[in-house]
Amino acid sequence: MNLEAMAAGIEPAGKIPPVDRWTPSRSGEMDLVITADGRWVHEGRVIERAALVRLLASVLRREDDGDYYLVSPQEKQRIRVEDHPFIIVDAERDADGDWWLTTQYGDRITLDAEHPLSVTETPGGEAVPEVPVRFGMAARLGRNVFYRLVEEAEPLEDDQGRWRLVLASGGIKHPLGDLDEAPCD
């Protein structure tokens, strides 16, 4: 599959097209993998062109079957994603105290009830927070962002008596992970 041909006719990166409303008649499978560390590998070679990766990320969606697809108005191509297609690379707190997260492709979301953090296992078995982004897809927190949020988090005992590290944003408490023991006062 020629990536350039599939990308032809799609609006330039920066604006997310309405891929959730596109229903292409043709479908197939492409030899493209998004690795757990965020690299895009097509037919065994890393895609080096950042603009092409951003464009492809803008037409990516996850469907009800759990698979990921690059979608254009004419066709969709199933690809493989090792963990999540997005990585949170920046976090900042606004004047109201809410946290805004940014992916490596510029998606900007606020931590709130619609975009809550949850802690899930990576393919390597590590418990790492993730957050929904768009079109059924989620992002892992990058290590530097995780440590930054941990510095701002507070311990909280849940209903089962477990201690968790949580971050307040958007009117709710977002988990960053479990604590092995109760915090010292």
DSSP state letter for 154 = E
Bin 82: left if φ > 0, else alpha if -120 < ψ < 50, else beta.
alpha
Neighbours of 104 (CB within 10 A): 18
C-alpha–C-alpha distance, residues 113 and 111, integer Å: 7
pLDDT for res 158: 85
Task: Give the pLDDT of residue 23.
Answer: 93
Name residue 101's beta-bridge partners.
Answer: 91, 109
Give yes or no for a contact between 76 and 24, defined as CB atoms under 8 angstroms apart.
Answer: yes
Q: Per-residue pLDDT tens for 2-55?
A: 556 555 555 554 678 999 999 999 999 999 999 999 999 999 999 999 999 999
Beta bridge partners of 126: none
What's at 74, amino acid-wise? Answer: Q
pLDDT at 12: 52
Instruction: Note the pLDDT of residue 180.
Output: 79
Dist. CA 77–CA 26, nearest whole Å? 9
Q: How far apart are CA 39 and CA 128, in angstroms?
A: 19
pTM, full prediction = 0.86
What is the C-alpha separation between 51 and 172, in angstroms, rounded? 36
**What average pLDDT does range 47-66 have in this prediction?**
94
* Residue range 111-165, pLDDT digits in tens: 999 999 999 999 999 989 999 999 999 999 999 999 999 999 999 988 888 899 9
pLDDT at 179: 86
Res 15: pLDDT:
79
How do beta strands 60-62 and 108-110 pair? unpaired
102 touches 115 (CB < 8 A): no
Q: Is 90 exceeded by the pLDDT of residue 173?
A: yes
With cut-offs at 50, 70 and 90, classify the pLDDT of residue 107: very high
